[in-house]
Chains A and B, each alone.
Chain A
Amino acid sequence: MPSFLLEVGTEELPADFVAGAIHQWRLRIPQSLQEHSLSASSIDVYGTPRRLAIVIQGLPDKQPDREEEIKGPPAQAAFKDGQPTKAATGFARKQGVALEALEIRATDKGDFVFIQQSFPGRPTAELLTELVPQWITGLEGKRLMRWGDGDLRFARPLVWLITLLDDAVLSVELENGSKTLKSDRFSLGHRVLSPGKVIVTHPNNYVDILQRAFVEVNPQQRQNKIQEQIQAAAQKVNGSTPIYPDLLTEVTNLVEFPSAVVGNFDEEFLNLPAEVITTVMVTQQRYFPVFKSNNFEELLPYFITISNGDPAKSDIIAAGNARVIRARLADGQFFYKTDLSRPLESYLPQLETVTFQEELGSVRDKVARVSKVAELICAQLQLPKDNSNLIQRAALLCKADLVTQIVYEFPELQGVMGQKYALASGEPEAVATAIFEHYLPRSASDRLPRTITGQVVGLADRLDTLVSIFGLGMIPTGSSDPFALRRAANAIINITWSANLQINLQRLLEQVATDFVAAHPTQLNLLHQLQEFFLQRLRSQLQEEMIDYDLVNAVVGDNDSDYKIRALQDLLDVRDRAFFLQSIRNNGELEKVYDTVNRSTRLAAQGDLNTTELHPQLINQALFQKSSEQAFYDALVQLEPKTIAARASRDYQQLITALAEIAPKVSSFFDGADSVLVMDSDPEIRRNRLNLLGLLRNHARVLADFGAIVKN
Chain B
Amino acid sequence: MNFQSVIAVLHQFWGDLGCLIAQPYDIEKGAGTKNPHTFLRALGPEPWAVAYVEPCRRPTDGRYGENPNRFQYYYQYQVLIKPSPDNIQEIYLDSLRALEIRPEDHDVRFVEDNWEDATVGAWGTGWEVWLDGMEITQFTYFQQCGGIDCRPVSIEITYGLERLAMYLQEVEAITKIQWTDNIAYGDVHLQGEIEQCTYNFEASNPELLFTLFNLYEQEAQQLADRGLVLPTLDYVLKCSHTFNLLDARGVIAVTERTRYIARIRSLARKIAQLYVQQRETLGFPLLNVKGGVEANV
Contact in complex: B152, A148 (CB < 8 Å): yes
Give the residue of A12, A157, A355 whose beta carbon is less than 8 angstroms from that of B109.
A12
Q: Within 8 Å CB of B114, what residues of A?
A: 143
Complex Cα spacing A355 to B260, Å: 14
Chain B residues 16 to 33 lying within 8 A of chain A, measured CB to CB, are: none
0 or 1 for each of A273-298: is its CB under 8 Å from B? (1 = yes): 00000000000010100000000000
Query: Measured between C-beta atoms, what is the minimum distance from A482 to chain B in Å?
Result: 16
Task: Classify the interface of chain A: helix, strand, loop or mixed.
Answer: mixed
Chain A residues whose C-beta falls within 8 Å of the C-beta of B106 in the assembled complex: 309, 313, 316-317, 320
Contact check, B84 vs A320: say whether CB atoms are below 8 A apart.
no
B109 CB contacts on chain A under 8 angstroms = 12, 254-255, 308
In the complex, the answer to whether B108 meets A309 with C-beta atoms within 8 Å is: yes
List B contacts of A549 (CB < 8 A).
Answer: none
Q: Indicate whether A331 sits within 8 Å of B83 (C-beta atoms), given known contacts A143-B114, A320-B132, A361-B254.
A: no
Of residues 1 through 56 on chain A, the ones whose CB sits less than 8 Å from some CB of chain B are 11-17, 49
Stretch at the interface among B65-73, B234-242, B275-283: B65-73
| Binary per-residue interface labels of chain B (25-65) against chain A in the complex, 1 for a CB within 8 Å, 0 otherwise | 00000000000000000000000000000000000000100
Give the chain A neighbours of B83 by CB distance below 8 A. 147-149, 177
Whole-angstrom distance between the alpha carbons of A184 and B83 in the complex? 25
Q: What separation, in Å, do the CA atoms of A156 and B229 have in the docked complex?
A: 33
Of chain B, the residue at the smallest CB distance from A307 is: B107
Q: Of the candidates B133, B143, B151, B252, which one forms a contact with A149 in the assembled complex, judged by CB atoms under 8 Å apart? A: B151
Tell me, in angstroms, the Cα distance from A624 to B84 when the chains sit together: 95
B107 surroundings in chain A (CB, below 8 A): 261, 305, 307-309, 313, 317, 320-321
Query: In whole angstroms, how far apart are the Cα atoms of A326 and B80 in the complex?
Result: 33
- The listed residue (B68, B86, B105, B254) touching A159 by CB distance below 8 A is B86
Bound-complex Cα distance A308 to B83 (A): 30
- Chain A residues within 8 Å of B111, by CB: 12, 15, 254
Q: Which residue of B lies closest to A146 (CB)?
A: B153
Q: Is B172's beta carbon under 8 Å from chain A? A: yes
Which of B84, B106, B127 has the most C-beta atoms of chain A within 10 angstroms of its own C-beta?
Answer: B106
**Is the CB–CB distance between B68 and A355 below 8 Å?**
no
**A146: which B residues are within 8 A, CB to CB?**
141, 143, 151, 153
Q: Are the C-beta atoms of A12 and B110 separated by less than 8 Å?
A: yes
Closest-by-CB residue of A relative to B82 is A149
Q: Is B103 within 8 A of A192, CB to CB?
A: yes
B133 near A320 with CB under 8 A, answer yes
B296 within 8 A of A: no
B211: interface (CB < 8 Å): no
- Residues of B within 8 Å of A321, CB to CB, are 107, 132-133
B185 to chain A, nearest CB (A): 16
Check if B182 is an interface residue, CB within 8 A of chain A: no
Chain A nearest Cβ from B225, distance in angstroms: 30
Identify the closest chain A residue to B67 (Cβ). Answer: A334
- CB nearest neighbor in B for A353: B250
Closest CB in chain B relative to A444 CB, distance in Å: 27
Q: Does A350 contact B (CB under 8 A)?
A: yes
CB distance from B80 to the nearest CB of A (A): 14
Question: Interface code A320-351, partner B: CB below 8 Å = 1, 0 otherwise?
Answer: 11011111001100100000000000000010
Partner of A353, one of B63, B69, B252: B252
On whether A191 and B69 interact (CB within 8 A), knowing A147-B153, A149-B151, the answer reads: no
Contacts of A710 in B (CB 8 A): none
Q: Tell me, in angstroms, the Cα distance from A352 to B106 when the chains sit together.
A: 45
Q: Is the CB of A148 within 8 A of B86?
A: yes
A359 to B259, CA, bound (A): 12
Which residues of chain A are near B172, meaning CB under 8 Å?
A: 323, 326-327, 330
- Answer whether residue A179 sits at the interface, using C-beta atoms and an 8 A cutoff: yes
A177 near B152 with CB under 8 A, answer: yes
User: How distant is the Cα of A353 from the Cα of B257 in the complex, in angstroms?
Assistant: 9
Which residues in B have their C-beta under 8 angstroms from that of A49? 110
Say yes or no: A179 contacts B133, CB within 8 Å.
no
B→A interface (CB under 8 Å):
63, 66-70, 83-86, 89, 103-112, 114, 124-125, 127, 131-134, 141, 143, 151-153, 155, 167, 170, 172, 250, 252-255, 257-258
Q: Which residues of B contact A156 (CB under 8 A)?
A: 125
For the complex formed, measure the closest distance between the CB of A7 and the CB atoms of chain B, giving whole angstroms.
17
Contact A361 B255 (CB under 8 A): yes
- 27 residue pairs bridging A and B, Cβ less than 8 Å apart: A12-B110, A14-B112, A15-B112, A49-B110, A143-B125, A145-B124, A147-B141, A148-B86, A149-B152, A150-B152, A177-B83, A179-B86, A191-B103, A285-B133, A305-B107, A309-B105, A313-B106, A317-B106, A320-B167, A321-B107, A324-B134, A330-B69, A330-B172, A331-B70, A352-B254, A354-B254, A362-B253
In contact, B84 and A317 (Cβ under 8 angstroms) = no
Q: Does A130 contact B (CB under 8 A)?
A: no
Known A177-B83, A191-B103, A192-B103; further 19 A-B contacts with Cβ < 8 A: A12-B109, A16-B112, A49-B110, A145-B124, A147-B83, A149-B83, A150-B152, A155-B125, A255-B109, A307-B107, A308-B109, A309-B105, A320-B107, A323-B172, A327-B172, A350-B250, A353-B250, A355-B258, A362-B254
- Which residues of chain B have C-beta atoms less than 8 A from A319's C-beta? 132
B133 to A331, Cβ gap below 8 A? no
Do A157 and B84 touch across chains, with their CB atoms under 8 A apart?
yes
Interface residues of A in 399-440 (CB under 8 A from B): none
B254 lies within 8 A of A331 (CB): no
Task: Determine whether the beta carbon of A325 is less than 8 Å from that of B255.
Answer: no
A334 lies within 8 A of B255 (CB): no
Residues of A within 8 A of B104 (CB): 192, 310, 313
Per the bound structure, the CA–CA distance linking A350 and B250 in Å amounts to 8
Q: Determine if A358 is an interface residue (Cβ-Cβ < 8 Å).
A: yes
**A-side contacts of B66, CB under 8 Å:** 334
Please, what's the 1-or-0 string for A639-672, where 1 marks a CB less than 8 Å from any CB in chain B? 0000000000000000000000000000000000
Q: Is the CB of A316 within 8 A of B132?
A: yes
Least CB separation from A350: chain B residue: B250
A-chain residues with CB within 8 Å of residue B103 when the two chains form the complex: 191-192
Inter-chain contacts of A317 with B (CB < 8 A): 106-107, 132
A13 proximity list for chain B (CB < 8 A): 112
Q: Which residue of B lies closest to A195 (CB)?
A: B104
A324 touches B108 (CB 8 A): no
**Please, which residues of chain B bring their CB within 8 A of the CB of A354?**
254
Pairwise interchain contact A355-B254, C-beta atoms closer than 8 A: yes
Contact check, A324 vs B133: say whether CB atoms are below 8 A apart.
Answer: yes
Partner of A145, one of B63, B141, B151: B141
